Amino acid sequence: MAKISVQQRKYFVTRIEDSINTKINELRQANAAQVQNISEKAYTKYLKALKIDKELARFEKLDAEHRKLQTKLVNVYNEVRRSLGISQYHQDAPTVYNSSSAHDISTGFRYLCSKTAAKQETETAEGKLIKELEHKKRAAIDELHGVNELEGLKLTVNSILKGADVPLLGE
């Protein structure tokens, strides 16, 4: 038997491994569907063998409920956000997106509550002053635009707007 060098031995080992591994990979690909079928049939027994079958079933049920609740909360969040005129997100504004944490979801809704309260603030002295200044600002702008000169039109528009809980022209 002829002797071969270490370098030749390494070359032949690499060549043999490469050619056999190529054939093994081809066979694994051809067999992938059968392996998947065997796996699907054995899945229930596998979970029982690991003693997690009941926990996984409970997890799947809770996860489905969680996703349903999260979808509802995100939809409500989006509607409130739209109603407040918040169309863009800023890094400092909390959100309920990409979050499964109750803390993050609560923070998002606290943010919206704060924005809502800021628009409806009239219980403090400052809030009452803000409302009074906004009223004066609207009245001054209406005067500059000549709304008061169009008394008939103003009365007609105000009668249409009456009861809509919006500022009337000239007020």
pLDDT single digits (tens) 147-165: 666 777 777 888 888 787 7
Q: Record the tokens describing residue 69, joined without a space.
A: 């609740």
User: Could you give the CA distance from residue 130 to residue 167 in angstroms, rounded to a whole number?
Assistant: 14
CA distances from 9 to 4, 12, 107 (A): 7, 5, 66
Tell whether pTM > 0.75.
Answer: no
Counting every residue written for the chain, the total comes to 171
Residue 40 has a CB neighbour count (10 Å cut-off) of 9
Write down the pLDDT at residue 170.
Answer: 66
For all residues of the chain together, what is the average pLDDT? 82
pLDDT tens for each residue of 68-105: 988 898 888 888 888 888 876 665 666 666 555 666 77
Residue whose entry in the numeric block shows the structure tokens 């022209």: 169
